[in-house]
Amino acid sequence: MAGSSKVDPFVVKDCALAAIATGMRAQNLRELRDGLLAVHPESINYHFWGGLLQPRFDDPEYNNDFASWVRHALHDNKLGERLGVIDPADFHDTEALRQELVDVIETRLDEMEFHPWARRDQQFHFVRAQIVVFDTGKRILRPRDLRSVVPTLSIGSIYYHVIDARRREPQRVDDIRAWLQQFGDQYAVLCNRLAGIDPYFVTLTELRRALDTVITECSLEGGVA
């Protein structure tokens, strides 16, 4: 390790999301656009990422609540597809993601002569979430132990250490890479491989499997000791 003999252990945590109603809702596309302009950024994050931990729609075609609502409540397949391909991992922060959503919706509004309304019982309800974090008591002391521990992590742990971590300032990287940085450049290959995993268009179980695959391959190649 560079610069110090002391190595901080990786503290394994778990989490749950507590949904909180914002009181904001939309019944048509203009109201959805206006809500997006005003809502707290954590609501936008919840409607993109929260479904990974708390699945809300039985619709594997769409990964975010905005696309699902537009498709099922407004019956707009074209806009549903446009919103459905937006990957929040491609945006530096939530404000950039917000602007992309607004731009896509405004483009669709300009294309339409008639703007459909959802039934009153199918309004879009803007929700935000409070993350509740638990210490599991597990500690990872050496990078080589990642190979045995990662496959055993709960999906709540995967969400906290990969999804939530990427939104935390100042590093905005998953906790595994952040922890490996204390070892200097020794694990640069592993960190680069982990950085290449897109956490959005997969389930948390699939994400855990992808992490395990990368760590195992790097171990077999001698990149994790």
pLDDT one-digit tens code per residue, 103-158: 999 999 999 999 999 999 999 999 999 999 999 999 999 999 999 999 999 999 99
> Strand pairing partners for 3?
none
Helix, strand, coil percent content, the chain, rounded in steps of 5: 55, 15, 30
Element at 194 (helix H, strand E): helix 188-195
- Spell out the residues 6+ positions from residue 5 whose beta carbon is closer than 8 angstroms to its own: none
Q: Residue 55: CB partners within 8 Å, gap ≥ 6?
A: none
Residue 51: both structure tokens together:
């479904």
Residue 2 pLDDT level (bands cut at 50, 70, 90): very low
Report yes or no: 33 and 144 within 8 Å, Cβ to Cβ.
Answer: no
**Token pair of 139 as six digits:** 């500690």
Q: What distance in Å separates the CA atoms of residue 185 and residue 177, rounded to the nearest whole number?
A: 11
**Residue-level pLDDT at 62:** 85
Contacts of 107 (CB under 8 A, 6+ apart): none
pTM (2 d.p.): 0.90
User: d(Cα 201, Cα 105) in Å, to the nearest integer?
Assistant: 21
d(CA 212, CA 64) in angstroms, rounded, equals 26
Among residues 183, 191, 182, 185, the alpha carbon closest in space to that of 211 is found at 191
What does the pLDDT look like over 196-221, one tens digit per residue?
999 999 999 999 999 999 999 998 77
Partners of 127 in the β-ladder:
21
Q: Would the pLDDT of 8 be above 80?
A: yes
